[in-house]
Amino acid sequence: MIRILRYGEVENKDIFSRAVPTVNVAAVVAEIIATVRKNGDRALLDYTEKFDKAALKSLAVTPEEMEAAVASVEPRFLDVLKRAAANIRRFHEKQVRQSFVVNGENGVVMGQKIVPVDRAGLYVPGGTAAYPSTVLMDAIPAKLAGVGEVVMVTPPGKDGTVNPAILAAAQVAGIDRIFKVGGAQAIAALAYGTETIPKVDKIVGPGNAFVAEAKKQVFGEVSIDMIAGPSEILIVSDGLSNPRHLAADLLSQAEHDKLASAVLVTDSMELAQAVQAELERQIPLLERAEIARASIDANGKIIVADDLGTVVEIANEIAPEHLELCVEDPFAYLGSIRHAGSIFMGRNCPEALGDYMAGPNHTLPTGGTAKFSSPLSVDDFMKKTQFTYFTKDALADLADDVAYFARCEGLTAHAKSALIRTEEGGK
């Protein structure tokens, strides 16, 4: 049963604690990465047979496999994918930045070029659930950024095929190439390249502990989006929300993973108790009841505070991945929310809407990292390059100051470089 905690009557560590994976996979992942770097495709095929029980002859998804997969999914599913993609594209189009130029005095020209990465790699999990929504969320911003090539890796089933829903989403999103490989070995292949899989500049997408550790270990060789942890939802609610709705929203994240975190923060003890009871009614009805039960019992909590102002401060301290504002006037509180991956406003905006159809990205910072990081966006696939042009007269105006500054740092060659062009006879 979910715990009810009254803020101020229990220790803060009970209020702000979160689930932490205890398994240490660093050494195993390091060995996998080293093996892939050494043996390339052979290592990928061996690991796929070992971990996924799939004996593959080749890694690439063929055009024929794509065609068959798309033909096998329900027409309504394809239609929903396309509608979701349109909403995601409409939202992310607003994120596309433009280069700029600043013209200064004496002919000085400065500016910033916005340039996409050449190649991006998307990791799409397999395992207990397939996530075609993640394909759309990760690929569409990359395409809008203008990335030259977008490749996807995803683990195959035992029969050597990729889930048709994943491939259908890849076609809708416009992914260029797809490879049947998962786990840490897939991340290693994207980071360093093999005979078949090209080296990429950026790796994005969620995964299990092995995938997260692999992304951590290859960071620096390539860029990554974030180290994703267990899924989280925090609901801020006054006493007027429907307990059935709140319980359902909490369970929408609890069903992801036994380490997932579902938290309600409210100013109403009556609501807290009603949601607690409603969770007990709804959990046995879920297909993933065992996972949801483990998550709710171990990591779920309902926190009761004296007023909504305190409720919001608790939410900011937790900095959740998903935050629902289930209050009468959510826009009145929006400005007070400083730390959250994505905010869902009002009583008719469940987090599940954002997972699939609304448009904003669902690849979000977890584990409190919303205090300093952001959702996946077009910016993740862009890089910025500065440029500066000075005329001789403009340089002369600043050369003495540049040289003085340089000498203050003990860098006399810097000083000479600034002055040599302005000295008598300098060219």
Predicted local distance difference test score (pLDDT) of residue 128: 54
Q: What is the pLDDT of residues 88-126, one digit of tens each?
A: 999 999 999 999 999 999 999 999 999 999 999 999 998
Domain match, 46 and 194 both: yes
Our CA dihedral for 406, 410, 414, 415, rounded to 10 degrees, sits at 60
pLDDT-wise least confident of 18-27, 34-43, 279-288, 413-422? 18-27
Q: Report the sign of the C-alpha dihedral through residues 376, 378, 379, 382, in that order.
A: positive
Q: What is the pLDDT of residues 409-427, one digit of tens each?
A: 999 999 999 999 988 554 4
Note if 232 is an active site residue: no
Domain match, 163 and 213 both: yes
Domain match, 245 and 208 both: no
Euclidean distance between CA atoms 340 and 134, whole angstroms? 19
pLDDT band at 24, cuts 50/70/90? Answer: confident
Q: 3-class DSSP state for residue 326?
A: strand
Q: Is residue 383 part of a domain?
A: no
Q: Is residue 43 part of a domain?
A: yes
- By the 10 Å C-beta count (0-12 exposed, 13-18 middle, 19+ buried), 27 is classed as exposed
pLDDT band at 228, cuts 50/70/90? Answer: confident
Predicted local distance difference test score (pLDDT) of residue 304: 98
Contacts of 22 (CB under 8 A, 6+ apart): none
Domain match, 240 and 341 both: yes
Q: 3-class DSSP state for residue 400?
A: helix
Q: Is residue 384 part of a domain?
A: no
Average pLDDT of the chain is 95
Domain C-terminal end among 303, 338, 358: 358
- Strand arrangement of the beta sheet that strand 301-304 belongs to: 3-6, 301-304, 261-266, 232-237, 322-326, 342-345
| Cα distances (Å, whole numbers) of residue 58 to 195, 337, 384 | 11, 49, 37
Q: Is residue 304 part of a domain?
A: yes
Q: What is the pLDDT of residues 146-186, one digit of tens each?
A: 999 999 999 999 999 999 999 999 999 999 999 999 999 99
Domain match, 70 and 200 both: yes
Domain match, 68 and 128 both: yes
Angle at 167 between CA 161 and CA 169, to 5 degrees: 155
For residues 224 and 255, is the Cβ–Cβ distance under 8 A?
A: no
Domain match, 60 and 199 both: yes
Angle of helix 183-192 relative to helix 209-218, nearest 10 degrees, comes to 20
Domain C-terminal end among 318, 334, 358: 358
Domain match, 265 and 281 both: yes
Q: Is residue 128 part of a domain?
A: yes
Q: How many domains does the chain have?
A: 3
- Given the residues 322, 324, 351, 362, select the one marked as catalytic: 322
Residue 263 predicted with pLDDT over 90? yes
Tokens 């400065």 -> residue: 110
Choose among 120, 96, 125, 18: nearest CA to 370: 18
Predicted local distance difference test score (pLDDT) of residue 58: 96
Residue 127 predicted with pLDDT over 80? no
Domain match, 257 and 301 both: yes
- Two structure tokens written together for 417: 């470089």
We report the CATH number of the domain holding residue 244 as 3.40.50.1980
- Given the residues 213, 255, 321, 324, select the one marked as catalytic: 321
Domain C-terminal end among 224, 257, 286: 224
Residue 61 predicted with pLDDT over 70? yes
Give the residue-averaged pLDDT of 310-314. Answer: 97
Q: What is the pLDDT of residues 192-219, one digit of tens each?
A: 999 999 999 999 999 988 999 999 999 9
Q: Is residue 377 part of a domain?
A: no
Predicted local distance difference test score (pLDDT) of residue 32: 98
Q: Is residue 381 part of a domain?
A: no
Angle at 25 between CA 19 and CA 31, to 5 degrees: 160
Domain match, 46 and 134 both: yes
Predicted local distance difference test score (pLDDT) of residue 346: 97
Domain match, 318 and 395 both: no
pLDDT > 90 in the chain, percent: 93
Q: How far apart are the first and last CA of the chain?
A: 79
- Two structure tokens written together for 166: 């994943």
Note if 321 is an active site residue: yes
Domain match, 417 and 278 both: no
Q: Is residue 178 part of a domain?
A: yes
* pTM as predicted: 0.93
Euclidean distance between CA atoms 271 and 95, whole angstroms? 39
Burial pattern 77-109, b for ≥16 Cβ within 10 A else e, equals ebeebeebbebbbebbeeeeeeeeeeeeeeebe
Residue 333 domain boundaries? 3-21+229-358
Predicted local distance difference test score (pLDDT) of residue 423: 81
Q: What is the pLDDT of residues 37-54, one digit of tens each?
A: 999 999 999 999 999 999
DSSP state of 65: H
Give the residue-averaged pLDDT of 234-255. Answer: 98
